Amino acid sequence: MKKISYLGPRGTFTEEALFSFYKNAKEIKSEPLGTIVDVIKSIDRGDADEGLIPIENSLEGSVNITQDILTFESEAKIIREITIPIRHNLIGKKYVDLKKIKKVISHPHATAQCRSFLNNKLHGVEVIAANSTAEAVKKILDLNDDTAAIGTKIAAELYGLSIIEKDIEDSRDNKTRFIFVGNYIPQKSGQDKTSIVCFLKKDKPGSLYKILKEFADRNINLTKIESRPARKNIGDYVFMIDIEGHLHDKKVFEGIESLRRNVYMIKMLGSYPIWKES
């Protein structure tokens, strides 16, 4: 049985993503861990076959801790991705009228993403911060009926609670991309993505241009490029690049190899199937 670690606690969007991919829960053994670092290190140590962590949200941007640990502190590789819509729900111990709710608990990102609902439907309620939406849902078990939480459908089911109002997020386009990490490079699927990090020899004019030119000359599409601090001097950066195609595609391989004369080091983060929404 495949063992998969994921960012916990239970009832999070990460767990929702896990069972969106593995629809048959009996085929895996899942283990929620406390931090993204814990999940990635479980792969490095061989404690799990796969790990699942968030890497990007359409509203909040990249998850920097995920990028940094994979870049600087781990040899784990991205082996798969999945994107799910983020749907927030107002959850209570039982169904109550919105007028009776005095307090709402959730993670600050969740409350920020439901600002319009809170202002229009629950104006004046006390908003209390929690470490995660799952923690918020669990907390209301021990609180009065006038306290609700913003969380996932899976958390409400886990704790036997009621969804007072569903889909309360401001944006229907809110999505999070999650990555499965492992210790290998998957075979070509025909629709793949390759993620690399470029460490520059020295930051000077034209450095980024030379990187981009190698791919442009080969008609290779870059789906994402982002800079992150290189953990050295202020002003030193690494470039994180997502490339359309698999590492074992001839032009992708040649494009990456051609960079070596212009950069200090290239780190392979993974080459894996592109997620296709059903």
Q: Which active-site residues does the annotation give?
A: 176, 178
Task: Supply 37's token pair.
Answer: 């670092």
Compute and round to an integer the Cα radius of gyration of the chain.
Answer: 21
Tell which residue, 134, 135, 131, 121, has the closest CA to residue 170. 121
Integer Cα distance of 214 and 268 in angstroms: 17
Cα atoms found within 13 Å of the Cα of residue 193, Cβ hemisphere only:
19
Integer Cα distance of 177 and 277 in angstroms: 11
Per the DSSP assignment, residues forming a β-bridge with 129 are 106
Cα atoms found within 13 Å of the Cα of residue 88, Cβ hemisphere only:
31
Integer Cα distance of 22 and 82 in angstroms: 11
Please enumerate in sequence order all residues whose Cβ is within 8 A of that of 158, keeping only pairs 6 or more positions apart, or say none.
10, 11, 137
Integer Cα distance of 50 and 184 in angstroms: 10
Neighbours of 232 (CB within 10 A): 10
